[in-house]
Chains A and B, each alone.
Chain A
Amino acid sequence: MTRSVTWDLVKKDWWLYRLHIVISTAAGVAALGLCFKGGEVAGVIGAVWIFTALVIVACMLPMSAIVNERKKQHLPFVMSLPVSVREYTAAKLVSSVGMFLMPWLVLVAATVALIEVRGFLPKGSIPFAVIVLLLPFVGFCLITGSALVGESEGWTIAATVACNSSYWLAWFLIARTPGLMELAKGNTPVWNGQLLWIVAGELGVIAGSLGLTFLLQSRKRDFI
C-alpha cells in the first residue's frame, strides 16, 4: 500500500496551473506568428516577445506554484499526505520544469524551424538562438530553487531580479566575444568549442541549481 504519491502531486500541479501552460504557450506562438508574418521590424519585436514570454513564465510560475502554495496555506494540506519534504521537492521540481518545458520546447523548436525554413535570420544564428533561449530556462531553475528554499516572496523576487539583470549581461558578453558573432552571420549552423562550452555551462547551472535545491530542502528541520 505504500506507493509513492509524488506523481499524483505532479499531476495535481499540472491540472491546477494548466492555464499558465496554455497562456504562455499561446503567447509565445503568437509572437512567433509575428516573426513569421511580418518584415524585419516585426521580426525583431517578435523575437523580443518570445524571449519576454519565457522570462515572464520563469518568474510567474514559481510564484504561483510554490510561493503562493505556502502563502495560501495549502502546504499543510499537501504535507498531510504521505509525502516527505524530499518527495514534495522532487514533485515540485518535476512539475515546474515540466510546465516550463511545454512552452519552451515549442518555442525553441518553432524558432529553429523558422530560421531554417523562413530564413529571417541567417542559419548560422541557430546555435545562438538556442543559447539565448536557454537563458530563461536557467533563470527559471534558479528562481524555482529560490522559491522552494527561500520560502518567501522576497527571495523569489530577489532571484528574479538577479536573473533578469543577468540575461542582458549574458547577451552582451556573447555578442562581444571576438569571432562568435561572425559565425552567426554564416549560412550554416556552426557549433564550435566555445559555443558548446557555453551550452554546457548553461546546462551545468540548471543541473547544479536543481541539485542544490534538492539538497538544501532535504536538510530543513522546520518545514512548516
Chain B
Amino acid sequence: MSGVFEISQSDKRPMYLQIMEQIKRKIAVGDWAEGQAIPSIRQLAVDLEVSVITVKRAYLELEREGVIVTQQGRGSHVASTPGLGARLHEQELANHLTQATRIAALLGMEPSELAERLRAAQAEKEQV
C-alpha cells in the first residue's frame, strides 16, 4: 500500500515538507483516491526509514490543510472532499507563481516582463 516515496538528501528542505509534497502529488495524480486509507504514521515512518515524529508532523500539517484526516485508533485516510486532486494541483501552481514573483522581484524584473516570460514558456511547451 505504501507507494514509492523518496526522501532526497540533497534537497535542502525539511523532510516533513518533502513527505507532504509527495503525498499531495500522489493524491493530485489520482494514485490515492479521495477517502482512501493511507499508511499509518508508524508504518510510513518504517517504510521511509525516518523518525515517527517527522511523519507525524507531515500528517498534522496535511490535516490542517484539509488534505488528509487522521482518526484516533482508525488510522489515516485521504480527505473525502470532492475535487481534492484538482485543488492540490491548483495549490501547486499558486506556489510556483508566488516563487516566480518573488525571484523576479529580487532580480528587479518588471511585472510585464515576468508576464512576457510566462507567455514565452507556454509557447515553448506547445511546440514540443
- Determine whether A and B are in direct contact in the complex, meaning some CB atoms lie less than 8 angstroms apart: no
